[in-house]
Amino acid sequence: MDIILLGPPGAGKGTQAKRLVAERDLVQLSTGDMLRAAIAAGTPVGLKAKAVMERGELVSDAIVSALIGEHLDKSNGKGAIFDGYPRTGHQAEALELLLADRGRKLDHVIELKVDEDALVERICGRFTCAQCGALYHDTAHPPQVEGVCDECGSTEFKRRPDDNEETVRKRMAEYRAKTAPILPVYESQGLVREVDGMGTVDEVAAAIDAILDA
Ligand code: AMP
């Protein structure tokens, strides 16, 4: 099963993708995570992407599509949850080819519908465990013991440098201008299912499960 999770920054794509990986035999392919790993490793791709990401703009289609191709080849033929990819029409075309070359095609495009003002609060409060990557939020989902990760006990946390209001607004504008226009193409193929992304994590999860198990 190959699924795209589509929605603006902070819609819950990463949270839902991680849950699906834990519950089903799927891999999460997040171009944002791949780019952050490239930056941390100081690779040529990371060097190119860093400033673009800090401005909240989109990294080039060629770079992200190449990353997706590499990771598809490393995922042992497991179904993929595309998280944060595709983000432009060119990327959507590239994905179709990458899948077709491997005898695969998309099964679902799940659109997480959300209210933009609520997203700014969601994004500006989020942080992750520096050790295991568990996701937290200052008000909505703080660790049970302050300063200690529920999952692995680490006391080190980190915030993304692009999770500030100014960059978030820019990322949303990029979503409206470049990513939302790819939805009609998927709609015309009958692939799009809408989910209300403003519910709790469990409510959103239940709505996604109902689509995948239908
Ligand atoms: P994300 O983690 O998905 O919110 O992505 C963080 C940032 O990485 C974005 O604001 C972009 O700068 C870059 N990025 C991630 N995925 C893509 C993509 N598919 N196309 C272009 N830029 C991307």
- Predicted pLDDT at 37: 96
What is the C-alpha separation between 128 and 149, in angstroms, rounded?
9
pLDDT score recorded for residue 42: 97
Q: Which residues line ligand 1 (CB under 6 A)?
A: 9, 31-32, 35, 52-53, 56-59, 64, 84-85, 87, 91, 162, 171
> Average model confidence (pLDDT) for the chain?
95
Distance between Cα 30 and ligand 1 center (Å) = 9
- pLDDT beneath 70, residues of the chain: none
Residue to substitute in 59, 61, 112, 164 for testing ligand 1 pocket (most ligand atoms within 8 angstroms of CB): 59
Residue showing tokens 């941390």: 40
Question: How high is the pLDDT of residue 27?
Answer: 97
What is the predicted pLDDT for the residue at 117? Answer: 84
How far is the CA of 196 from the CAs of 111, 157, 169, 188, 202, in angstroms? 8, 29, 21, 21, 12
